[in-house]
């Protein structure tokens, strides 16, 4: 898949505001600071399409990007940031679950997990939801450039063993928004699921 155009369309804080045009969506899910916005920028070959920042918890809405005038990429709010008050965290959790549960246009999810660490409890809860709601998903192991190449095969294999147990997991792909590894594979997987 070649991305020729990408533009920000809308930020959604309330599910009633979701687009009703029936256009297919690919959503990007992961804990705060895992690299969702950076991955979207890398896929689109754009520096600052999706706002990425050193300050975690910045993306608080579902941000919609129109890709090739044909599909939406949806940058979901990051979960699990400890400094956000509990009440807000639980309302984000509900927003994400309601979205995953009821969104017919959602063709697939890219679940981001830090390549260097074990998945968190929340990561596992999210992939549990994806599987339960029959949503095909791809796991991107982010910040792979920070993983010493000697450790890479072992880390990737153990993530693969874990996630491919889920029925709806399509693949596990190491990714870096710095070096660009994994970009072609992620785009290919999106193209084969979304068409
Ligand atoms: N080395 C390296 N740093 C990365 C990579 N991806 C993201 N980062 C850095 O990690 C930080 C967070 O990246 P974001 O893309 O903003 O993460 P996010 O998941 O969108 O964060 P929230 O919007 O807060 O949920 C930034 O400082 C990025 O520069 C990567 O592949 N390699
Ligand atoms: Mg972000």
Quick: pLDDT tens for 30-85: 999 999 999 999 999 999 898 765 666 555 789 999 999 999 999 998 888 777 77
Per-residue pLDDT, averaged over 120-125, amounts to 94
Alpha helices, H only, the chain: 36-43, 86-102, 121-132, 152-163, 183-194
Q: How far apart are CA 93 and CA 71, in angstroms?
A: 25
Q: Does ligand 1 lie within 6 Å of residue 33's CB atom?
A: yes
Mean pLDDT of 122-131: 95
Determine if ligand 1 sits within 6 Å of the CB of residue 53: yes
6 CA → ligand 1 middle, Å: 19
Q: Which residues contact 187 (CB under 8 A, 6 or more apart)?
A: 1, 2, 3, 43
Q: What is the pLDDT of residue 155?
A: 95
Which of 1-15, 50-64, 165-179 is predicted with the least confidence, judged by mean pLDDT? 50-64
Average pLDDT of span 106-126: 96
The ligand 1 atom nearest the CA atom of 59: 23
Q: Using alpha carbons, list the distances in angstroms from residue 105 to 19, 72, 194.
A: 10, 10, 10
Nearest atom within ligand 1 for CA of residue 78 = 25
Q: How close is the Cα of 161 to the center of ligand 2, in Å?
A: 28
Give how far the C-alpha of residue 5 lies from the chain's centroid of Cα atoms, to the nearest Å: 19
- Report, as an integer, the average pLDDT of 139-155: 95
Q: What is the pLDDT of residue 56?
A: 63
Q: What is the DSSP letter of 145?
A: G
What's the whole-number mean pLDDT along residues 123-146? Answer: 97
Predicted confidence at residue 81, as pLDDT, reads 78
Name the nearest CA neighbour of 53 among 66, 68, 70, 36.
36
Q: What is the pLDDT of residue 52?
A: 66
Residue nearest to atom 27 of ligand 1 (CA): 54
Mean pLDDT of the chain: 92
DSSP 101: H
Indicate which residue's Cα is closest to atom 16 of ligand 1: 52
The confidence score (pLDDT) of residue 83 equals: 75
Give the residue, by CA position, lying nearest to ligand 1 atom 7. 35
Q: What is the reported pLDDT for 57?
A: 59
pTM, 2 dp: 0.95
Sheet holding 106-114, edge to edge: 6-12, 62-67, 71-75, 25-30, 106-114, 137-142, 169-174
pLDDT of 13 above 90: no
> Residues of 106-116 as b/e, b for ≥16 C-beta within 10 angstroms?
bbbbbbbbbbe
Is the pLDDT score of 161 beyond 60? yes
Q: Which band of pLDDT confidence, cut at 50, 70 and 90, is reported for residue 90?
A: confident
Question: Residue 126: which of 155, 92, 153 has the closest Cα?
Answer: 92
**pLDDT value at residue 58:** 57
Shortest-distance ligand to the CA of residue 30: 1
């Amino acid at each position: 898949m070649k991305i020729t155009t990408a533009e920000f369309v809308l930020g959604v804080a309330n599910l009633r505001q979701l687009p009703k045009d029936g256009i297919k969506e690919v959503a990007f899910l992961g804990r705060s600071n895992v690299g969702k916005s950076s991955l979207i920028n890398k896929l689109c070959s754009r520096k600052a399409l999706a706002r990425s920042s050193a300050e975690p918890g910045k993306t608080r809405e579902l941000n919609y990007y129109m890709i090739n005038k044909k599909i939406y990429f949806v940058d979901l709010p990051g979960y699990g940031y400890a400094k956000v008050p509990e009440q807000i965290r639980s309302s984000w959790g509900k927003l994400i679950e309601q979205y995953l549960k009821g969104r017919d246009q959602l063709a697939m999810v890219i679940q981001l997990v830090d390549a260097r660490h074990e998945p968190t409890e929340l990561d596992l809860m999210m992939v549990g939801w994806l599987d339960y709601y029959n949503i095909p998903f791809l796991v991107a192991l982010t910040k792979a450039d920070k993983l010493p190449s000697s450790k890479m095969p072992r880390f990737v294999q153990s993530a693969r063993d874990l996630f491919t147990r889920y029925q709806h997991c399509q693949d596990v792909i190491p990714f870096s928004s710095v070096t660009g590894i994994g970009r072609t594979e992620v785009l290919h997987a999106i193209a084969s699921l979304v068409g």
